Amino acid sequence: MQHADAAAVAGRLRQAWSRSGAVTEGFRFRDAEVEVDGVIRVAFDWRRDPQRYAVRIPFPGWIRDAIGDGFTAREAVDELSLRLMEELDTGFVSRAARTPDGDVVLLEDRAPRRTGWCVGDVPLEQSASARERALEQARRTGRSTVVVAGRDADDLEPVADPGRHLDDDGLDGSAGRAAVRAGDLIAWLQLDRGDLASRFVGQAVVTRLDGSTARVALLELRTSDPAAAEDLAIAACRRAVEAGAQRIEAPRDLDLLLDLGFRAEGEVLAARYDEVRPPEPCGRSGAPA
C-alpha cells in the first residue's frame, strides 16, 4: 500500500498548523513547501523571537519508520505534530545549528553539548497541593525546596518568596525577587546537575529595559566549569530573544559573553538578537524532526 505523497502531506500541514495553538505554545506556522528532493520545508515563527525559522523534514524518512508504510496525509501530520511539539518543548530552537537562508534561519539538529548541566526556570507560582508537599519536605530536610507546579493545576498561586532555595545553596536570590516585584522580569534561570540530590550552583536574571532591549542583569556561578557558564549564558540570551528583544545588554564585567557574540559598548556589553552565537558542539546529528 502506497503512502501519501509529500505534496499531500504539505497541504494537510497548511490546514492543520495554521490554526491557533497548533503544535505547541509559541509556535506560529508560516508555510510548508516541497523542495525538489522531496523534503518538506516548514517555516515558522517562535514565541516573540524576531527571526523566522525553517526546518527541513526528510520525506518519507522517519515518518514511515515510525508509523509504517501506507500512511495517510492525516496520519503523517499527526506524527509530525507530536514530534515537532516534543522537539520545540525541549529546546530545539536554542540548541539547533543555524544557517541563514534567504529570509529565514534554517535550523538543523545537532548533537547535544552533553556538559552535564541542567538549566531550568526558578518557579514563580505553584499549586496549593504542591506547596503542601514542599512544606512537608522542608520540614523533613531542613532546606527550602523547589516547587514546580503542574500546568493543569487550577489552584495556582504565586510563590511567596521565590528563589529561597538558591539562597540555601549559597547563591543570592535578591536580584531575581527584585525583578519580580518590579514587573520587568523576562526569565529567572537556575543551574544544577539535573537530579534531586544536586545543589544549585548558578542563576541568571534577564530583565526588560524597554520594548526592544533586554538585559542579562545577573549571571552568578559557584562553579569554575566554563561549560556551566556557557550553558547558563546561552539560555539567558535565548530567553531574551524569545521574549522579543532586538538588543541584549549585560554588565561590562561578564567577559564570557564576548565569546558568544557580545561586544563592549561603553559601560556595557551588547549584542543584536542575531549576533548571539553558542559555541559549536563536538559533533552533529541528523536532520531535525
Q: What is the pLDDT of residues 187-208, one digit of tens each?
A: 999 999 877 677 999 999 999 9
Model's pTM, two decimal places? Answer: 0.69
C-alpha to C-alpha distance for 169 and 191, rounded to whole angstroms: 11
Is the confidence at residue 42, as pLDDT, over 90? Answer: yes
Higher pLDDT, 148 or 110: 110
Q: What is the pLDDT of residue 185?
A: 97
* pLDDT band with cut points at 50, 70 and 90 for residue 225: very high
CATH 3.40.630.30 residue ranges of the chain are 118-272
Contact by Cβ (8 Å): 106, 41? no
Is the confidence at residue 146, as pLDDT, over 60? Answer: no
- Written as one string, the DSSP assignment of 49-62 is -SSEEEEEE-SSHH
Q: What mean pLDDT is predicted for residues 7-33?
A: 92
Q: What mean pLDDT is predicted for residues 129-150?
A: 52
Q: What is the pLDDT of residue 131?
A: 52
Q: What is the pLDDT of residue 155?
A: 59
Is the confidence at residue 253, as pLDDT, over 70? Answer: yes
The owner of cell 526546518 is 55
User: Residue 49's CB: how many other CB atoms inside 10 A?
Assistant: 19
Strand duo 156-158 + 125-127: pairing: antiparallel
- What is 118-272's CATH topology? Aminopeptidase (3.40.630)
Torsion sign, CA atoms 259, 240, 88, 148:
positive
Q: What mean pLDDT is predicted for residues 242-248?
A: 93
Closest CA to 13 of 41, 48, 37, 51: 41
